[in-house]
Amino acid sequence: MVSPAIALAFIPLLLTVLIKYRYFFVLFYRAILVRIWKDCTTGLSREERAYQYVLTHCTLGDPDSILDAFDIWCSNVEFISNIGPKKGKILDRLLMEQSPLTVLELGAHCGYSTVRIARSLPLGARLYSVEMDQRNAAITEKIIRMAGFDDSTVELIVNPSDEVIPRLRSDYSLEKLDLVFMDHWKKCYLPDLQLLEDSGLLGKGSMVLADNVLFPGAPKFLRYLRKCGLYEWKIHRATLEYSRGIRDGMAELIYQGIK
Q: How far apart (Å, rounded) are the C-alpha atoms in residues 159 and 155?
A: 13
Per-residue 3-state assignment (H helix, E strand, C coil) for the chain: CCCHHHHHHHHHHHHHHHHHCHHHHHHHHHHHHHHHHHHHHHCCCHHHHHHHHHHHHCCCCCHHHHHHHHHHHHHHCCCCCCCHHHHHHHHHHHHHHHCCCEEEEECCCCCHHHHHHHCCCCCCCEEEEECCCHHHHHHHHHHHHHCCCCCCCEEEECCCHHHHHHHHHHHHCCCCEEEEEECCCHHHHHHHHHHHHHHCCEEEEEEEEECCHHHHHCHHHHHHHHHHCCEEEEEEEEECCCCCCCEEEEEEEEECCCC
Q: How far apart (Å, rounded) are the C-alpha atoms in residues 194 and 196?
A: 5
Identify the sign of the CA torsion 130, 135, 138, 139.
negative
Residue 154 has, within 13 A of its CA and on its CB side, a CA count of 29
Phi, psi angle pair for 246, to nearest 5° = -110, 115
Q: Annotated active-site positions, please? A: 183, 186, 211-212, 241
